[in-house]
């Protein structure tokens, strides 16, 4: 099976061009094996690039994305930029505006072309989902708000229990946003491993998130600059999360911490986010980088 290794801000996946390669029979198992950084290719997961599901979708391609543990995710903001790159660079759709079908629906991309190849992209991620039932989370806004009010800075103890670390000995405020996949945003004074690698896995598996959740830990450097680390559902800590960066800016804007247009600095690079006042859509811009191509023998 031929594949391409690509990354967006260090969030790396193995991509299979299913316009040319057979669709794997068991992509969940393949994702676990090929993502292994010692016995496989190594990556945060597997992405299949396929034709659109039907003519009505009007998509240039469709992406299916599997985490390193084999679980399928609805959406990935870094992966979709790389799918746009593969679609253009491989001649599937040789144009600078493409549309990609995802679990979130069909999303449009503006591709940034340099020397005949895609160097990055701007993705229209659609409107953020703030209704708790649709995130989904069983958390609700504080008393007095309607049931569908956004969960912003709601005091939280994981599973109804206090997190047993010195840093988080009392409930801490969380904000819940979906960008097609669920996110729990925690603004902190200083990000460290205790937050990300201890609290992150507990948040991911907390019963208040019935489909598990991606956990973002964020320092506000200024109204237009944030620092973020992420514990991703099904993959652990990754160098970047595009949907997470979008969720962070939405949560930050709703809580009055940041502007609706900001740069998010992650361990793997910088993503630029804009939450448009004109149409309520969130736009994500960042790089798309091909690392190498190869052949995997399942």
Each residue's pLDDT, cut to its tens digit, for the chain (298 residues) gives 999 999 999 999 999 999 999 999 999 999 999 999 999 999 999 999 999 987 777 899 999 999 999 999 999 999 999 999 999 999 999 999 999 999 999 999 999 999 999 999 999 999 999 999 999 999 999 888 999 999 999 998 875 544 444 455 568 899 999 999 999 999 999 999 999 999 999 999 999 999 999 999 999 999 999 999 999 999 999 999 999 999 999 999 999 999 999 999 999 999 999 999 999 999 999 999 999 999 999 8
Provide the token pair at 123.
């993705």
| pLDDT for res 47 | 98
Using DSSP, state whether 96 is helix, strand or coil. coil
Task: Please work out, in degrees rounded to the nearest 5, the angle formed at the alpha carbon of residue 171 by the alpha carbons of 165 and 172.
Answer: 90
| pLDDT for res 187 | 96
| pLDDT for res 53 | 87
Is there a contact between 287 and 269 (Cβ–Cβ < 8 Å)?
Answer: yes
Residue 293 half-sphere exposure, CB side, CA atoms within 13 Å?
7
CA 193 to centroid of chain Cα atoms:
20
Range 154-280 has CATH code 3.10.310.10: yes
Query: Of 3.10.310.10, 3.40.50.300, 1.10.760.10, 3.40.50.150, which CATH number belongs to 2-124+286-295?
Result: 3.10.310.10
Q: Specify the domain boundaries for CATH 3.10.310.10 within the chain.
A: 2-124+286-295, 154-280
Backbone angles phi, psi at 31, to 5 degrees: -60, -45
| pLDDT for res 168 | 53
Query: Could you list the active site residues?
Result: 76, 241
Q: Where are the beta strands (DSSP E) in the chain?
A: 2-8, 11-17, 45-50, 61-67, 72-73, 97-102, 105-114, 117-124, 154-156, 172-178, 182-187, 214-222, 225-232, 236-238, 261-266, 269-275, 282-287, 289-295
Q: How far apart are CA 13 and CA 42, in angstroms?
A: 8
pTM equals: 0.93
Using DSSP, state whether 91 is helix, strand or coil. coil
The set of residues, in sequence order, having a beta carbon less than 8 Å from that of 190 and lying 6+ positions away, is 219
Q: How far apart are CA 61 and CA 84, in angstroms?
A: 9
Using DSSP, state whether 93 is helix, strand or coil. coil
| pLDDT for res 11 | 97
Q: How far apart are CA 192 and CA 178, in angstroms?
A: 24
Burial class (CB in 10 A: 0-12, 13-18, 19+), 116: exposed
| pLDDT for res 54 | 79
Q: Which helix (H) or strand (E) holds 34?
A: helix 27-35
Rg, Å, the chain Cα set: 19
């Amino acid at each position: 099976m031929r594949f391409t290794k690509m990354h967006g801000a260090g969030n790396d996946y193995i991509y299979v061009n299913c316009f040319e390669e057979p669709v794997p029979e068991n992509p969940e198992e393949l994702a676990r094996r090929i993502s292994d950084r010692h016995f496989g290719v190594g990556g945060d997961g597997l992405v299949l690039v396929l034709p659109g599901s039907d003519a009505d979708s009007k998509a240039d391609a469709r992406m299916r994305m599997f985490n390193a543990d084999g679980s399928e995710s609805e959406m990935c903001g870094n992966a979709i930029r790389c799918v746009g790159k593969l679609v253009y660079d491989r001649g599937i759709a040789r144009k600078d505006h493409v549309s990609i079908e995802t679990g979130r629906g069909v999303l449009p991309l503006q591709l940034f072309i340099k020397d005949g190849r895609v160097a990055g992209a701007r993705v229209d991620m659609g409107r953020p989902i703030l209704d708790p039932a649709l995130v989904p989370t069983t958390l609700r806004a504080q008393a007095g708000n309607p049931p569908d009010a956004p969960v912003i800075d709601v005091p939280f103890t994981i599973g109804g229990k206090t997190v047993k670390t010195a840093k988080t000995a009392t409930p801490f405020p969380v904000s819940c946003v979906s960008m097609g996949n669920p996110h729990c945003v925690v603004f902190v004074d200083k990000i460290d491993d205790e937050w990300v690698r201890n609290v992150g896995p507990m948040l991911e598996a907390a019963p208040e998130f019935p489909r598990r959740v991606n956990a973002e830990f964020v320092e506000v450097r200024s109204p237009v600059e944030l620092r973020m680390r992420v514990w991703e559902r099904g993959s652990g800590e990754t160098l970047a999360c595009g949907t997470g960066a979008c969720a962070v800016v939405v949560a930050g804007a709703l809580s009055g911490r940041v502007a609706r247009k900001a740069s998010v600095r992650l361990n793997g690079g910088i993503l630029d986010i804009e939450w448009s006042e004109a149409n309520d859509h969130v736009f994500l811009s960042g790089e798309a980088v091909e690392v190498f191509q190869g052949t995997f023998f399942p």
